[in-house]
């Protein structure tokens, strides 16, 4: 029986020796953590080096240039190009790609010009009327101004004359620009300036001076309505009253039409009405084509009296412009005839600041009284504009 414990002791000892030998063959035991962590770290470094070595380097022929950022990426807070101002002008450029031209670059240029014109036709018309002093600008004037035009026109067939044109528009204080005082003294025989029914009535004699009060019922870009009361300042005075209405229509993106209607009464002319239509077409940058048709009839007129005028306005820089004119004036009684044809080119130059202008206008006229024989002439006029008073 004593041999049994001894046998058990031998078995236990043998198993312990076997475990020790097996542990020494496998490596460090689990109770040596620093050694195991260090081995794992070295293994990770070797794997990373192997992965880097496996990455293929770019060939010398391949480009490594970075892509240029777009406008929106480079300037995220800047105003987006292409937005419209209140005047109709466009800021910056339009980032929308242009369509491929169907017939070549010439057609593409026309498309680009049409797009530019459609965005700025309103602004061009305002700039042209303001620079050239067209009566459309005078009729819509919303500020105080004194305009003085003095000069001389040299013409054949004893038609030379002194040019005098003085206009005053003055707001009455405390009326919120509703009541205006106006004064007009002119003898300038210009078809463009003869649209006023009171001036047209004096077309065959020296123009008179008129003055009076104007009440503005409405004045917007789309509609204008006003009433005048005054007199021709001669002896005896000749009182008058008249009502004026104007409406603006946009026929297309590059075309405007502005009909204007007057209804008037004058002591020596009786009742009458004048109709005028202005058609504006923007052509190129700062250029405008205008067709004007005016028709008048009154108790003392020669039937229907009419003016037909074609204008072309062109700006050359900020201080220089040209106006080309072709015109005809006619009547229907006692017989239908054209009393006058006219062709002229007006050169207008802003010679000092923004208020002094010089005009040189060569012209040729064909009068019915002269059997339409040509009458050459040239007008030289100095114009001064005074405002803010």
- Total-model pTM: 0.66
Nearest-angstrom CA–CA distance, 133 and 145: 12
Res. 335: pLDDT tops 50: yes
What's the pLDDT band for 271 if we cut at 50, 70, 90? very high
Region of 162 (left: φ > 0; alpha: ψ -120 to 50; beta: rest) is beta
pLDDT at 86: 47
Res. 209: pLDDT tops 70: yes
The domain segmentation of the chain, as residue ranges, is: 123-387
What is the Cα gyration radius of the chain? Answer: 44
Higher pLDDT, 340 or 202: 340
Contacts of residue 125, defined as CB under 8 A and 6 or more positions apart, other chains included, come to: 256, 280, 282, 288
Give the pairing type, strands 238-247 and 223-232.
antiparallel
pLDDT at 317: 86
Res. 300: pLDDT tops 70: yes
Higher pLDDT, 358 or 91: 358
Task: Kindly report, residue by residue over 145-186, the tens digit of the pLDDT.
Answer: 999 999 999 999 889 999 999 999 999 988 888 999 999 998
Nearest-angstrom CA–CA distance, 156 and 337: 23
Q: What is the 3-state secondary structure (H, E, C) of 318-352?
A: CCEEEEEEEEEEEECCCCCEEEEEEEEEEEEEEEE
Res. 200: pLDDT tops 60: no
Reply yes or no: is the peptide bond before residue 334 cis, omega within 30 of 0.
yes
CA distances for 66 relative to 59, 63, 69, 70, 76, angstroms: 17, 9, 9, 12, 19
DSSP state of 372: T
Query: What average pLDDT does range 92-97 have in this prediction?
Result: 46
DSSP state of 2: T
Calculate the CA dihedral of residues 121, 122, 125, 126 and round it to 10 degrees: -150
What's the pLDDT band for 194 if we cut at 50, 70, 90? very low
Instruction: Return the CATH number of the domain spanning residue range 123-387.
Output: 2.40.160.40
Task: Kindly report, residue by residue over 27-78, the tens digit of the pLDDT.
Answer: 444 444 555 656 766 777 677 666 655 555 555 555 455 566 665 666 665 5
Residues facing residue 244 across a β-bridge:
226, 262
Helix (H) or strand (E) holding 147: strand 145-155
Higher pLDDT, 104 or 168: 168
Res. 193: pLDDT tops 60: no
Task: Kindly report, residue by residue over 233-245, the tens digit of the pLDDT.
Answer: 888 899 999 999 9
Q: What angle is formed at CA 329 by the lines to CA 302 and CA 250, rounded to 5 degrees?
A: 110
For residue 254 the two structure tokens come to: 């590059």
Residue whose C-alpha is closest to residue 128's, from 346, 323, 356: 323
Nearest-angstrom CA–CA distance, 1 and 132: 140
Reply yes or no: is the peptide bond before residue 236 cis, omega within 30 of 0.
yes
pLDDT at 323: 96
Nearest-angstrom CA–CA distance, 255 and 145: 30
Query: What average pLDDT does range 277-286 have in this prediction?
Result: 88
Res. 257: pLDDT tops 60: yes
pLDDT at 26: 45
For residue 49 the two structure tokens come to: 């080096």
For residue 30 the two structure tokens come to: 């689990």
Residues facing residue 210 across a β-bridge:
184, 232
Q: 287-312: buried (b, 16+ CB within 10 Å) or exposed (e) per residue? A: bbbbebebebbbeebbeebbbbbebe
Res. 288: pLDDT tops 50: yes
Mean pLDDT of the chain: 77
């Amino acid at each position: 029986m004593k041999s049994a414990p001894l046998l058990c002791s031998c078995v236990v000892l043998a198993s312990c020796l076997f475990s020790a030998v097996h542990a020494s063959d496998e490596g460090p035991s689990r109770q040596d953590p620093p050694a195991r962590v260090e081995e794992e770290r070295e293994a990770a470094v070797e794997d990373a080096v192997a992965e880097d070595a496996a990455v293929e380097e770019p060939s010398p022929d391949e480009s490594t240039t970075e892509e240029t950022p777009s406008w929106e990426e480079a300037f995220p807070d800047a105003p987006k190009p292409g937005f419209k101002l209140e005047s109709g002008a466009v800021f910056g450029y339009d980032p929308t790609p242009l369509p491929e031209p169907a017939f070549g670059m010439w057609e593409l240029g026309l498309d680009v010009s049409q797009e530019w014109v459609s965005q700025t036709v309103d602004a061009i018309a305002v700039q042209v009327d303001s620079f050239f002093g067209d009566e459309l600008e005078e009729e819509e004037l919303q500020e105080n101004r004194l305009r003085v035009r003095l000069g001389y026109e040299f013409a054949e067939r004893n038609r030379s004359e002194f040019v005098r044109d003085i206009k005053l528009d003055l707001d009455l204080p405390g009326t919120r620009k509703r009541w205006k005082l106006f004064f007009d003294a002119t003898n300038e025989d210009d078809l463009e300036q003869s649209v006023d029914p009171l001036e047209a009535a004096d077309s065959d004699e020296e123009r008179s001076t008129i003055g009076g009060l104007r009440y503005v019922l409405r004045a917007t870009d789309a509609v204008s309505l006003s009433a005048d009361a005054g007199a021709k300042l001669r002896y005896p005075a000749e009182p008058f009253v008249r009502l004026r209405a104007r409406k603006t229509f946009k026929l297309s993106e590059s075309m405007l039409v502005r009909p204007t209607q007057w209804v008037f009464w004058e002591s020596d002319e009786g009742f009458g009405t004048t109709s005028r239509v202005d058609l504006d077409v923007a052509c190129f940058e700062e250029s405008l084509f205008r067709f004007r048709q005016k028709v008048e009839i009154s108790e003392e007129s020669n039937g229907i009296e009419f003016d037909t005028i074609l204008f072309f306005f062109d700006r050359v820089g900020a201080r220089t412009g040209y106006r080309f004119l072709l015109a005809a004036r006619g009547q229907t009684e006692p017989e239908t005839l054209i009393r006058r044809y006219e062709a002229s080119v007006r050169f207008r130059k802003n010679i000092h600041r923004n208020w002094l202008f010089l005009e040189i206008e060569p012209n040729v006229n064909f009068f019915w009284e002269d059997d339409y024989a040509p009458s050459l002439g040239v007008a030289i006029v100095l114009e001064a504009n005074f405002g803010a008073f």
